[in-house]
Amino acid sequence: MNRLTQLTPLDGAALLLLWGSWLVIGWRIEHPSAKYPSVTIIMTDYRREWMRQMITRDPRIFDASILSNLRQGTAFFGSGCMIAIGGVLAVIGNTEALQGVAMDLTIEGGPTLIWQLKLLVVVAFLTHGFLKFVWANRLFGYCAVVMAAVPNDITHSSAQSRALQAAEINIRAAWNFNRGLRSIYYALGTLAWLLGPYALLVSTSLVAFLIWQREFASRPREILLVDIPTKES
């Protein structure tokens, strides 16, 4: 435990900012103000419209192709997280190599335990991302089944309700996929902690800004907002 005393209050503050930033920006993206929605929220309208248009589309090869691509994306990132987790754990287990890296990055290498703890935070983010990608993959699978149960006849009593069910499952899958992506961003930012608490503070700020910019101030967001039907219309 004495080795943990080498973690300074600044390390604690940087770690607190890291976790707090991750939680707050994730919540804000999924619960933005009505006047300034995030890309994630804007896309929910498009996903619902997709399922409404799907009702009368015959055959539904186009829809199946899109969903297949979405599932492939979740599988790709899930596999990538597994490989990354294995790589980081291998470094944690190789104390000699880890100590060598520590000596290269800092003037004073410090206890190996400190470096292991820092890398475990990276593993925590990667594990969270992996679990979100796996769940998103399953949800896209559920969505495919519900889509197949949507009648082609728009006048059918269950057509609209089934399409809405498929849309909501699709939305939940997309949200989990986005959560996984945010975890990867923060896992990469956490690596800066190996250079010290100041580096972690800077990297956390950069990651938070990058995610915020892409959700609330990006060019794709402006494009998505063009000609979106409003509730008043």
Question: What are the angstrom distances between the C-alpha of 176 and each of 126, 130, 132?
Answer: 14, 10, 5
Phi-psi region of 214 (alpha: psi -120 to 50; beta: other; left: phi over 0): alpha
- Dihedral of CA atoms 94, 98, 100, 105 in degrees, nearest 10, equals 170
pLDDT per residue as tens digits for the range 119-153:
999 999 999 999 999 999 999 999 999 999 999 88
pLDDT per residue as tens digits for the range 11-50:
899 999 999 999 999 999 999 998 999 999 999 999 999 9
72 versus 116: the higher-pLDDT residue is: 72
Q: Phi, psi at residue 12, to the nearest 5°? A: -65, -40
Q: Long-range contact list for 109-112, CB < 8 A, 24+ apart? A: 110/6, 111/3, 111/6
Q: What is the pLDDT of residue 232?
A: 45
Residue-averaged pLDDT of the chain: 89
pLDDT of 96 over the 80 cut? no
The stretch 215-220 carries a mean pLDDT of 94
Q: What is the pLDDT of residue 113?
A: 80
DSSP 98-160: HHHHHHHHSSS---HHHHHHHHHHHHHHHHHHHHHHHHHHHHHHHHHHHHHTS-S-TTSTTHH
Rounded CA separation 22/186 (Å): 7
184 versus 3: the higher-pLDDT residue is: 184
Rounded CA separation 109/130 (Å): 31
pLDDT per residue as tens digits for the range 73-89:
999 999 999 999 999 99
